[in-house]
Amino acid sequence: AIILQQTEVALIDERLRIQRKNLLIEENRLLEASKLRDGAVERLVFTEDERTALKQEATRLERELKEANTRLLRAQSQVLLTPEETAEDRAVMRLRNQQALKEKINLAVLETRLYIYLNELDSLSLLAKDETLDVERIQKRLSDRQRKLQEITVVGRDWFNQNELERANSNTFLADVESKGSTDHNTFLASIAKDRLVLVQETSVLLQKLQTEMADVHFLSSIIEKQLLSYQGPFFNWINRTKSTLSYGWRNTKQLLRTALFKVGDTPITPLSFAQFLLIVFVCWWVAFWLNKILFRIGNKRGDEKLPAYYIVGRLLYYSVILFGFLYALTAIGIDFTNFALVAGALAIGLGFGLQSIVNNFVSGLILLFERSIKVGDFIELQDRGLWGEVKEINVRATIISDNDNVDIVIPNSELINTKMMNWTLKEPHRRMRYPFKVAYGTDKELVREAVLAAAEALPHTLKGIPGRNPAVWLTNFAEFYYEFELVVWLTARAVKRPNGVRAAYMWAIDNALREFDIEIPVPQRELRFREGSALPVTRYKQQENMIFEEDDLPEDNPFLETEEIEKQDEK
């Protein structure tokens, strides 16, 4: 076995050596053939009669191309007009589809042959070395033809696969029909299948011819590229090829941008028009965003009193500019507002059902802006939810408030419209607050007033210097053991928005003031008196499963025995 394997390895090595030698011989032959071709190209000569003949052939092929295009359109029209109700109709449909495929390939063959003549004319022009020759134009035409050949190559693979599939289907269909017997129906279907096979064979011949013509075009294109390289030099040749490539890419891009994606009514929407629509909307949004932001900053600099007005103007400008941009963008791409009104009506119905909550919040936000029951900077309280905070933003869907713990709370606009809400700063930023406290009977009330007022006026939260809004101390009630007072004070705009901290500050100041003047703060007191011998021992026993045991019936180690001594007290 080892000897056989060694023999096989030796044979394989010998075959490999022979193949390498043959490959080297073929490479030398190819190199010699290439040199002969280059020499033949350099020695090419032509006459004006040959150029005239080429132009005449090119003109004739252009006429044939027009006729072939007409035949293709006719074949495609027949395909569209053919019904598919019966088996005969479907057979005829497949026959006409094959005929249309044949016409497509024939058109590609004629177009490729025309490229051969055009390449020959360009090659002759380069051989003439005319100083007025437009080399850049020749470079551009050559690039266009090469790209067109690439497209035909890609489509040609699909044509070949489609033709072979039709061949297999037609053979299968013909064998199936012939096996069913010779009726008029089957005879008609068999004849149609045979006609399809004939067309399939003719299409195969055209595909082979197309491959040959494309090979000739590629060969002539390589010759022209070498002529251009020698005529222009490497640098200018590269520049012209680059310009041609960019020009081709730009033409394809423009064609792609003008291709309709869909239609709105009778208006086609292309990528270019869609991009134009998005650009207009984006620019308007950008302008609206910065207008709103600038006005908000100006309002902040002017102070809290001016901020709500600037905020409302900014939000209205924001919505108006975006709405204007949207409508202008629709007009710019050619949308008819008559049809758009119908579409918008249907869309509004859909929004009413599907996006009812969002639309409700949006409308509620507009109501809040116009009604001005809530403004940016207001301090509001939702009594049902126990939330309060300062209004920071009134957006499309929700309003953002920030509480004193610096927590942002997002509340839907519709909830602010439909629920009970208290706005502490709706009409003016100041608010009167009451802080209750108590002192013992017998305390000098005037001393209490002076001490507490002095403490209140010392705090920065107290509003001062406004007639009728000075702090005051009220005696509100005579309780059982003490006087009930209230410190009534008007708070500054900043203090109103910090109720808990401000309340703590005032209560702290009141307590310090009372202690400073030795004013007694009453503490609830009770006196309990007991009669001698009135305390009686009481023994309790636990129940187990609804059974009550007497004390004598319980064992000493019974775990359910619990004895408590309770003193009965008489309060005087």
User: For the segment 57-82, what is each residue's pLDDT rounded down to a tens digit?
Assistant: 888 888 888 988 898 888 888 888 88
Task: Please tell me the distance from the alpha carbon of residue 289 to that of residue 315, in angstroms, as a whole number.
Answer: 9
Which pLDDT does position 36 carry in this prediction? 65
Q: Helix %, strand %, coil % for the chain, to 5?
A: 65, 10, 25
Mean pLDDT of the chain: 78
Which pLDDT does position 346 carry in this prediction? 61
Q: Are 375 and 308 in contact (CB under 8 A)?
A: yes
Q: Are 266 and 339 in contact (CB under 8 A)?
A: yes
Which pLDDT does position 485 carry in this prediction? 94
Q: Order of strands, edge to edge, in the sheet holding 387-394? A: 408-412, 398-402, 387-394, 379-382, 421-423
Q: Which amino acid is at 560?
A: F
465 sits in the region (left: phi over 0; alpha: psi -120 to 50; else beta) called left
Determine how many CB atoms are found less than 10 A away from the CB of residue 213: 21
Cα dihedral 436, 441, 446, 447 sign:
negative
Which residues partner with 475 through β-bridges?
A: 485
Residue with the bigger pLDDT between 122 and 239: it is 122
**pTM of model > 0.75:** no
Which residues partner with 434 through β-bridges?
A: 488
Segment 90-107, tens digit of pLDDT: 888 888 888 888 989 999
143-147, 445-449, 474-478 — which is least confidently predicted? 143-147
Of these ranges, 193-202, 304-313, 351-360, the one predicted with the greatest mean pLDDT is: 193-202
- Tell me what the mean pLDDT of segment 10-32 comes to: 84
**Does pLDDT of 344 surpass 70?**
no
- Tell me what the mean pLDDT of segment 155-172 comes to: 88
Residue with the bigger pLDDT between 78 and 4: it is 78
Cα dihedral 120, 121, 122, 127 sign:
positive
Cα dihedral 414, 418, 423, 427 sign:
positive
Q: Are 280 and 273 in contact (CB under 8 A)?
A: no
**Does pLDDT of 171 surpass 50?**
yes
- Tell me what the mean pLDDT of segment 154-165 comes to: 88
- The confidence band for 11, taking pLDDT boundaries of 50, 70 and 90, is confident
Q: Max Cα separation, the chain? A: 153
Q: Are 430 and 491 in contact (CB under 8 A)?
A: yes
Q: pLDDT exceeding 70 applies to what percent of the chain?
A: 76
Please report, in angstroms and rounded to a whole number, the separation of the first and last CA atoms in the chain: 126
Which pLDDT does position 27 carry in this prediction? 81
Question: Coil, strand, or helix at residue 487?
Answer: strand
**Does pLDDT of 437 surpass 90?**
yes
Continuous H helices in 355-433: 356-371, 413-418
Give one DSSP letter per residue of 430-482, joined into a string. -EEEEEEEEEETT--HHHHHHHHHHHHHHSTTB--S-TT---EEEEEEE-SSE
Segment 247-291, tens digit of pLDDT: 666 766 776 767 767 666 667 777 777 888 888 889 988 998 888
In three-state form (DSSP H/G/I as H, E/B as E, the rest C), the secondary structure along 251-274 is HHHHHHHCCCCEEECCEEECHHHH
Segment 206-234, tens digit of pLDDT: 999 988 888 888 888 777 777 776 666 66
Q: Which fold has domain 431-517?
A: Alpha-Beta Plaits (3.30.70)
CATH architecture of 373-423: Roll (2.30)
**Does pLDDT of 436 surpass 90?**
yes
Task: Please tell me the distance from the alpha carbon of residue 89 to that of residue 119, in angstroms, as a whole number.
Answer: 45
Picking from 381, 385, 418, 427, the residue whose alpha carbon sits closest to that of residue 401 is 381
CA angle 12, 18, 19 (to 5 degrees): 85
CA angle 387, 459, 518 (to 5 degrees): 110
- Tell me what the mean pLDDT of segment 185-197 comes to: 85
Which pLDDT does position 504 carry in this prediction? 94
Question: Both tokens of residue 224?
Answer: 């022209």
Which pLDDT does position 568 carry in this prediction? 39
- The confidence band for 304, taking pLDDT boundaries of 50, 70 and 90, is low
Q: Are 164 and 229 in contact (CB under 8 A)?
A: no
What are the backbone angles phi and psi of residue 256, rounded to the nearest 5°? -65, -40
Q: Which amino acid is at 212?
A: T
Question: Both tokens of residue 226?
Answer: 């070498």
How does DSSP classify residue 247? H
Segment 536-555, tens digit of pLDDT: 555 554 444 445 444 455 45
The set of residues, in sequence order, having a beta carbon less than 8 Å from that of 259 and lying 6+ positions away, is 270, 271
Segment 472-525, tens digit of pLDDT: 999 999 988 889 999 999 998 888 888 889 999 999 999 999 999 888 888 776
Which pLDDT does position 34 carry in this prediction? 67
